[in-house]
Structure 1
Amino acid sequence: MAHVIFFHSALGLDKGVHAMADAIREAGHTVTTPDVYDGHVFDSTEKGIAYRDEVGFRTLTDRATAALAGVEGPLVAAGISLGAALAQRLGKKDPRTEAAVLLHAGGESRLIDWPARVALQIHHSVDDPWIDEGGPENLLRSAARAGARAEHYLYPGDAHLFADPTKPDFDERSAELLSARVQLLLEDLDAARG
C-alpha cells in the first residue's frame, strides 16, 4: 500500500487535515502528516498566510525535509492548498516520490522540468479564487511532456477547501468524487508496484 505524505494548508495541522488523512488510512494506506507550522493552527486563511510569510516558505520546506528524513520510499506527496505547494516540490525534487496529489491548489507560471516517473493529479473547484489562471495547465503540460501520468479534475463552484469536512466550504458530493479519484490513483500505483 502507498505511503502518503499529506501536507496541511495555511490553517495548520488541524482537525480537517486529520479527518482527510484518516480517510486515506481507512483505505489501508500509511499516512504521515508533517506539521510544518510547528504546532500553530489558525482559524482564518489570512492569519495562516501571515504566519507563512513571517517564517518564510524556505523554512516550511526545510521543516518538511526534516520531517521526512529517514522515511523510505516510494512516497505519494499530497497536500491541501499551501500543502499542495510542498507536495508539488516533493514530487519535483525527491526521488522517493512516485506521485504528487495537489488538492485545492497547484500550478506553475511557466513550463518546468517534471520527472517522468512522478504521476500528477490536480483537484480544485472551477472558480476557486486561489487558483492562478493557467498555473495548473502549465504544470500538467510539463508532466505530460515528460511522459508522466497527468490528471486535472475540476469541481463545480468556487469553494476553496471543499474536500475538508470541517470547513464551511465542504461539499460532500465533490469531496466523495475527489476521494474516489485519489483512491484510484493509489490503487493503480499499488498495482504497478506489484
Structure 2
Amino acid sequence: MATIVLTHSALGRTPGIDRIADSYRDHGHTVIAPDIYDGHTFTTAEAGLAHSRAVGFRTLVDRVTAASRDLDGPLVFAGLSLGAAISQQMGKNDERAAGVLLFHGGGFPAPTRWQSHVPLQVHFAVDDVWRDADNVDTLLASARDAGATAEGFLYPGSSHLFSDPESEDFEPESAAVLRDRALRFLAEVDARTAGR
C-alpha cells in the first residue's frame, strides 16, 4: 500500500491532523504527518500564514522533502490548505509520487507541467473564500493534459477546514463524504501500484 504523507495547514500540527491521520490508519494505511512548523501552532489563519511567510514556502517544502526522504515509494502526498499547496509541489516533482490529495487548498495561476502517472483529487467547499476557481481549474487541466486522472469536488457551504474534526469549520457530513472519496482514490492508487 502507498504511504500517505499528510501535511498540516497554516495552523500547524494540531490534534485535528493527528485525528485525520488516525482515520486513514484505521483503514490500513501508513501515514506520516510531519511537523513542518517545529512545534508552533496557531488559532487563526492570519497568524499561521504570517508564520509560514516568515519561514518561507520553499523552506516548508524542503521540510516535507526531508521528512519523506527515507520513505520508499509509492507515496501519496496529501495536505490541508497550506499543506495542500505543499503537497501539490511534491506531487509535481517527486518521482515517488503515486497520487495527490488536496483538502481545502491547491491550484496554479498558469498552466504547468504535471507527472503523467500522478492522479489528483481536489476538495473544497463551494463558497470557501480561499478557493480560487480559476486556479483550481488550471491545476486540474494541467494534470489532465499530462495524462493523469484529475477530479475536483465541491461541498456545500463556506467552511474552509471542514474535514478537520478539531476545527470550528468542521462539517461532519461533508467530512465523511470527503473521506470516502479519498479512500476510494487510495484504493485505486494501491491497485495500480501493486507490486511496484
Partners of 2:128 and 2:95 in 1: CA distance: 31
Q: Decide whether the 8 Å contact of 2:74 with 2:193 is kept in 1.
A: no
Correspondence list, 1:45-124, <5 A: 45-124=45-124
Aligned residue type for 1:94: D
Q: Which residue of 2 aligns with 1:32?
A: 32
CA distance in 2, matches of 1:33, 1:103: 14
Scaled by the length of structure 2, what TM-score is found? 0.97
- Show CA shifts across 1:128-158 (max 9, x none): 1011230110000001111101000000011
Give the residue type in structure 2 aligned to 1:189.
V
User: Is structure 2 residue 136 aligned with structure 1 residue 152?
Assistant: no
**DSSP-derived class of the 2:145 partner:** helix
Runs of 4+ with >3 A deviation: none
After superposition, give the CA deviation of every residue in 1:170-192 in whole Å (9 maximum; x if it has no partner): 11110000000000011111112
Kept in 1: contact 2:5–2:33 (CA 8 A): yes
1:109-188 equivalences in 2 (<5 Å): 109-188=109-188
Mapped partners of 2:125, 2:175: distance in 1: 11
Quick one: which amino acid aligns to residue 179 of structure 1? Answer: R
Q: Determine helix, strand or coil for the equivalent of 1:190.
A: helix
Secondary structure at the aligned position of 1:140 is classed as helix
* In structure 2, distance between residues paired with 1:12 and 1:150: 27
Tell me the matched-pair count: 194
The percentage of counterpart residues that share the same residue type is: 48
TM-fit CA distance, 1:63: 1.2
Let me know the Cα RMSD of the aligned residues. Answer: 0.8
SS, match of residue 133 in structure 2 = coil
Task: Point out the more displaced range, 34-43 or 24-33.
Answer: 34-43
1:14 and 1:124 mapped to 2: Cα distance? 20
SS at match of 2:79: strand
